[in-house]
């Protein structure tokens, strides 16, 4: 099948899709992105993702390349043309092309790229069954981790360290020894009383759309969530640990560094959350995270 990408107003063959060498995303990582899951042909939490995109753009003063409505039409067209039933949409907006100069161009023309890829749920399902291992590494990122920029080098280094250690993810910790989040996931623990603990949204973490969806699901279930930072020590001795992201939904963590969590199998609270997620993404409601990204 011929895959199609949308690049600055045109639907192009994926293999030929390209951006300019002076695109500010390429030269300065002056751009933001979103990854929106597609399950059974439907976007999951597209409103939440668009709200976060609008926030990222506004924090960086990058003009929106088109209205949200128009962007949604393009997203759906890209999903349709690529016949993606299960997979994801990748969307990136940069401050556009300009002669290289650190300061913003006076009349920026934002560049927009959208493509979609199929992705099997096999890996996610097998991780859900067995659980995954994480390592902990120092957080080497800048001070605005709440903005979803394409500047992901420290995240790549952390994920590579995890891979080399035979782990699935690296949880990063700040100078006080408190966990911020994973290299591409949000981090959660379950305490002895069964409460879910996760770091509050601030400039220190990316406010995951899955994190917000989970909060909505868990509120319905009557589980208690405490938003507070937790330490590496608390993580290592937690009753249960899990992580959330658009691609993995909720994934149990059964090992942190060299410490086994619980009995080394996914815990009951995490399993309950995964079941709720599965029924959410296979149901009719798809926008449970809408309105939860704060300005
Ligand atoms: N934190 C970071 C650093 C991420 O890159 C991601 C994935 N984009 C997340 C958390 C999870 O966010 P979401 O649930 O929106 O995928």
- pLDDT at 207 (0 to 100): 98
- pLDDT at 90 (0 to 100): 98
Helix (H) or strand (E) holding 279: helix 268-282
Catalytic residue numbers? 148
Judged against a pLDDT cut of 90, whether residue 219 lies above it is answered with no
pTM for the model stands at 0.97
Q: Is 211 in the pocket of ligand 1 (CB under 6 A)?
A: yes
Helix (H) or strand (E) holding 160: helix 153-164
Q: What are the pLDDT digits (tens) for 253-288?
A: 999 999 999 999 999 999 999 999 999 999 999 999
Q: What are the pLDDT digits (tens) for 172-194?
A: 999 999 999 999 999 999 999 99
- In this prediction, residues 200-220 reach a mean pLDDT of 96
Strands (E), 44-110: 87-94
- In this prediction, residues 48-73 reach a mean pLDDT of 98
Output the CA 152–ligand 1 centroid distance in Å. Answer: 11
- pLDDT at 295 (0 to 100): 64
- pLDDT at 53 (0 to 100): 98
Helix (H) or strand (E) holding 225: strand 225-227
Q: What are the pLDDT digits (tens) for 26-41?
A: 999 999 999 999 999 9
Q: Is 54 helix (H, G, I), strand (E, B) or coil?
A: helix
Q: Is 198 in the pocket of ligand 1 (CB under 6 A)?
A: no
Domain segments of the chain as ranges: 4-119, 124-294
Q: Best mutation site among 46, 47, 119, 185 for ligand 1, i.e. most ligand atoms within 8 A of its Cβ? A: 185
Q: How many whole angstroms separate alpha carbon 272 and alpha carbon 68?
A: 34
- In this prediction, residues 101-116 reach a mean pLDDT of 97
CA-closest residue to ligand 1 atom 12: 208
Q: Which long-range contacts (CB under 8 A, 24 or more apart) does 13-20 make?
A: 14/115, 17/113, 17/115, 19/94, 19/111, 19/113, 20/97, 20/111
Output the CA 34–ligand 1 centroid distance in Å. Answer: 9
Q: Is 23 in the pocket of ligand 1 (CB under 6 A)?
A: no
CA-closest residue to ligand 1 atom 13: 208
Atom of ligand 1 nearest to the CA of 206: 1
Q: What are the pLDDT digits (tens) for 146-166?
A: 999 999 999 999 999 999 999
The CATH number of the structural domain formed by 124-294 is: 3.20.10.10
Any idea which fold 4-119 has?
A: D-amino Acid Aminotransferase; Chain A, domain 1 (3.30.470)
Residue for token digits 């911020």? 180
pLDDT tier for residue 1 given thresholds of 50, 70 and 90: confident
* DSSP string for residues in 110-156: -EEEEEEEE--SHHHHHHHHH-EEEEEEE----S-TTS-BS--HHHH
């Amino acid at each position: 099948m011929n895959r199609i990408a949308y690049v600055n107003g045109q639907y192009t063959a994926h293999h030929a899709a390209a951006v300019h060498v002076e695109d500010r995303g390429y030269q300065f990582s002056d751009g933001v992105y979103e990854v929106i899951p597609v399950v059974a042909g439907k976007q999951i939490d597209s409103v939440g993702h668009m709200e976060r995109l609008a926030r990222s753009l506004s924090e960086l003063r990058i003009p929106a390349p088109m209205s949200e409505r128009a962007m949604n039409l393009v997203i759906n067209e890209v999903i349709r043309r690529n016949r993606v039933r299960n997979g994801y949409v990748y969307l990136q907006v940069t401050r556009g092309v300009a002669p290289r100069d650190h300061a913003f161009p006076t009349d920026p023309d934002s560049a927009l790229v959208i493509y979609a890829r199929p992705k099997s749920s096999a890996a996610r399902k097998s991780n859900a069954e067995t659980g995954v291992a994480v390592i902990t590494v120092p957080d080497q990122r800048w001070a605005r981790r709440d903005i979803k920029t394409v500047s992901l080098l420290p995240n790549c280094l952390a994920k590579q360290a995890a891979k080399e250690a035979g782990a699935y993810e690296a949880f990063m910790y700040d100078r006080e020894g408190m966990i911020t989040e994973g290299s591409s996931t949000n981090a959660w623990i379950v305490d002895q009383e069964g409460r879910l603990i996760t770091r509050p949204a601030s400039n220190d973490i990316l406010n995951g759309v899955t994190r917000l969806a989970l909060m909505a699901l868990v509120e319905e279930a009557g589980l208690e969530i405490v938003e507070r930072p937790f330490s590496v020590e608390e993580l290592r001795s937690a009753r249960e640990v899990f992580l959330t992201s658009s691609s993995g939904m909720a994934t149990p963590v059964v090992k942190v560094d060299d410490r086994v969590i619980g009995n080394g199998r996914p815990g009951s609270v995490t399993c309950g959350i995964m079941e709720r997620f599965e029924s959410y993404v296979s149901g009719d409601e798809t926008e449970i995270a809408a309105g939860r990204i704060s300005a």
